[in-house]
Amino acid sequence: MGKSKAARRLLWGGACVVAGLVGFTAWAIKPAIAPVTPPAPISFDTTEIQRGEKLAAAGYCVTCHTAAGGKPFAGGLPMVTGFGTIYTTNITPDAATGIGSWSLAAFTRAMHEGVARDGSHLFPAFPYDRFTKTSNEDVKALYAYLMSQPAVSQAPKAPDMPFPLNVRLLQAGWKLLFFKEGRYEPVTTQTAEWNRGAYLAEGLAHCASCHTPRNALGAEKTGDARYAGAVVDGWFAPALNASNNSPVPWNADELYSYLRKGGTAYHGVAAGPMSHVVYQGMALVDDSDVHAVAHYFASMNGSASRNVDVAQVVAGALARSRFDASQTVERGANVYAAACAACHYNALSGPQAARPELGLKSSLSAADPTNLVNVILHGVSLKEGLPEAMMPAFGTALTNDDIAALVTYLRKTRTDLPPWQGVAQLVAKQRDDAKKN
- Footprint of ligand HEC on residues 274-333 (CB under 6 A)? 274, 277, 293, 297
Q: What part of residues 79-98 is at the interface with ligand HEC (CB under 6 A)?
A: 79, 86, 88-89, 91
56 binds ligand HEC (CB under 6 A): yes
Q: What part of residues 2-31 is at the interface with ligand HEC (CB under 6 A)?
A: none
CA distance 146 to 61: 10
For strands 263-264 and 230-232, give the pairing. Answer: unpaired
265 binds ligand HEC (CB under 6 A): no
Minimum Å gap between C-beta 295 and ligand HEC is 11
Minimum Å gap between C-beta 334 and ligand HEC is 12
Nearer to ligand HEC, 61 or 427 (CB): 61
Q: Considering only residues 270, 285, 318, 377, which one is a binding residue for ligand HEC as defined by CB under 6 A?
A: 270
What's the full length of the chain, in residues? 437
For strands 84-87 and 230-232, give the pairing. Answer: unpaired
Q: Residue 358: exposed, middle, or buried by beta-carbon count in 10 A (0-12, 13-18, 19+)?
A: buried
DSSP class per residue in 193-241: HHHHHHHHHHTTT-HHHHHS-B-TTSPBP-GGGTTS-EEETTEEE---S
Three-class SS of residue 266? coil
418 cis-preceded (ω within 30 degrees of 0) = no
Nearer to ligand HEC, 3 or 119 (CB): 119
CA–CA distances in Å: residue 426 to residues 231, 279, 380, 397, 400: 14, 29, 20, 18, 9
394 binds ligand HEC (CB under 6 A): yes
Q: What part of residues 195-254 is at the interface with ligand HEC (CB under 6 A)?
A: 201, 204-207, 209-211, 232, 235, 237-238, 240, 244, 246, 250
| Segment contacting ligand HEC by CB under 6 A, of 21-29, 44-52, 264-272, 419-427 | 264-272
Nearer to ligand HEC, 188 or 396 (CB): 396
| Segment contacting ligand HEC by CB under 6 A, of 147-155, 213-221, 306-314, 385-393 | 385-393
CA distance 214 to 169: 22
Q: 47 Cβ partners below 8 Å, 6+ apart?
A: none
66 binds ligand HEC (CB under 6 A): no
Nearer to ligand HEC, 272 or 351 (CB): 272
Q: Please count the residues of this chain forming the interface with ligand HEC, following the rule CB under 6 A.
A: 78
CA distance 206 to 125: 12
Nearer to ligand HEC, 177 or 246 (CB): 246
Three-class SS of residue 269? strand
| Segment contacting ligand HEC by CB under 6 A, of 123-131, 179-187, 217-225, 321-329 | 123-131
Minimum Å gap between C-beta 346 and ligand HEC is 11
Q: What part of residues 339-378 is at the interface with ligand HEC (CB under 6 A)?
A: 339-340, 342-344, 354-356, 358, 361-363, 371-372, 375-376
Q: 367 Cβ partners below 8 Å, 6+ apart?
A: 236
Nearer to ligand HEC, 63 or 190 (CB): 63
